[in-house]
Amino acid sequence: MNTLSYGLLSLLTKHSRTGYELMQHIQPFWQAKHSQIYPLLAQLEQNGYVEFVHVPQSDKPDKKVYSITKKGKEATSLWIAEPTDEPVVRDELALKVYCISLVDKEHAWRLLAERKEYYLKKKNRLHLLFDKIKEESGKPLEKLEIHDSQFGPYVLVQKAMMKVDADLSWCEWMKKKLS
Amino acid sequence: MNTLSYGLLSLLTKHSRTGYELMQHIQPFWQAKHSQIYPLLAQLEQNGYVEFVHVPQSDKPDKKVYSITKKGKEATSLWIAEPTDEPVVRDELALKVYCISLVDKEHAWRLLAERKEYYLKKKNRLHLLFDKIKEESGKPLEKLEIHDSQFGPYVLVQKAMMKVDADLSWCEWMKKKLS
DNA sequence: AGTTTATATGTCAATAATGACATATTGAAG
DNA sequence: CTTCAATATGTCATTATTGACATATAAACT
């Protein structure tokens, strides 16, 4: 079983979701398209790690709501104890910035402005996520402890917000360098 | 041509390198194995974007030193103006932390300690890179401007250092949360 | 004396991931 | 009135990436 499959199980330990929702909610940690997720869910179901119920909808297309099984939960716990892969980062902008001396200031500015826009959107999404976690949590977020269900999502949003703030600081620093 | 191929060209705009060196130096921005890079270099060479000279060595294996051609440099400039892909991040640790409430404090601690170790090593590598850039640069790094060859590498190391510091801050914050 | 690590290049099968195609409904925007 | 975006699930050909295999030398470690 690959890492993304375990990731799907990880999300399902919180609550049941559709493949579509899983695809959306896993994006902050692992970018994947629906075309990769649907086959993996079918595979997880065949191996008894998850199960689903058909839910017909009148206004929207019918959906399949997936839940983790006991076997799935056990596999997830075992996975956490296994060695963890190092993070993979692939950023085309970095490759471009490496040879940025090839182009003029205006090109560089546009490149930077586009990326800043991306980081701002990301920060906004994280704030929305933060609010959602706050709502779903029974207590104030600062009081969450490891055995609280929302602890993981909470600390991950914190991590992402710290990183995006670092990225935005770099953008500001660069703006000065380019002016 | 794919993004990694342009990345290789980007590195070669600074100075000639072997495939082995390219593989090492591209890691901070784009993780790739030699088994992916060597075939791409052969392809770049066939299409006239790069050229190489055989360099026999007595103490170490012979090597091929690649240089970018005029055609390669032009292609690289055009690539910078094209739309930039969004960064891809895939971190197994994040997927594990999401469901960290499944395991006990000791497991979580070990997970965090391993990651902190990784970040510290990364920070160390970045400092070495920083020193190397300082040596290769003719002027003080703060004075570097966009048309200086070392400007790109310099601002990228800054970005990476800011991010790794954010990651380490998160590790410290987590330590308190878990104690 | 044997193993691992670094240097150095390469191939190839298997796996991971993307992009395009396919289908159906609703609501919003132009 | 038409096109676009969101919801919802799926397949499949192509591309990207990995891991294993292959080879060779020197230095360091056990």
Residues of B in contact with A93 (CB under 8 A): 84, 87
DSSP A86: P
Q: Is residue A86 in a domain?
A: no
Q: Confirm or reject contact between A170 and chain B (CB < 8 A).
A: yes
Question: Which residues from chain B sit within 8 angstroms of residue A49, using beta carbons?
Answer: none
Which positions in chain B touch A28 (Cβ < 8 Å)?
Answer: 94
Interval A101-129 mean pLDDT: 95
Would residue B86 count as lying in a domain? no
- On whether both A76 and A97 belong to a single domain, the answer is no
Judged against a pLDDT cut of 90, whether residue A95 lies above it is answered with yes
Helix and strand totals (H; E) in chain B: 7, 4
Are B65 and B9 within one domain? Answer: yes
- Looking at the structure of chain A, the number of domains it has is 2
Tokens 């600062």 found at: A142
Residue ranges making up the domain that contains A22 = 3-81
Asked if residue B116 and residue B165 are part of one domain, the reply reads: yes
Residue B52 and residue B14 share a domain: yes
Hey, is the C-beta of A108 within 8 angstroms of any chain B C-beta?
yes
Which of A18, A51, A81 is the last residue before a domain boundary?
A81
Q: Which of B28, B94, B146 sits opposite A156 (nearest CB)?
A: B94
User: What is the secondary structure of A38-72 as a DSSP string?
Assistant: HHHHHHHHHTTSEEEEEE--SSS--EEEEEE-HHH
Q: Is residue B104 located within the same domain as residue B76? A: no
Last residue of a domain, which of A24, A48, A81? Answer: A81
Q: Which of B154, B114, B177, B8 is nearest to A87 (CA)?
A: B114
Distance CA A119, CA A164 (A): 6
- pLDDT confidence bin for A48, thresholds 50/70/90: very high
User: What ipTM score was computed for the predicted complex, to two decimals?
Assistant: 0.95
Separation CA B80–CA B87 (nearest Å): 15
Q: Does A79 touch chain B (CB under 8 A)?
A: yes
Contact predicate A71/B6, CB 8 Å: no
Residue A87 lies in a domain: no
Residues B67 and B101 in one domain: no
pLDDT tens string for chain B (179 positions)?
A: 999 999 999 999 999 999 999 999 999 999 999 999 999 999 999 999 999 999 988 888 889 999 999 999 999 999 999 999 999 999 999 999 999 999 999 999 999 999 999 999 999 999 999 999 998 888 999 999 999 999 999 999 999 999 999 999 999 999 999 99
Whether residue A41 sits in one domain with residue A10: yes
Do A165 and A101 belong together in one domain? yes
What CATH number should be reported for the domain holding residue A67? 1.10.10.10
Check whether residue A75 and residue A103 sit in a common domain: no
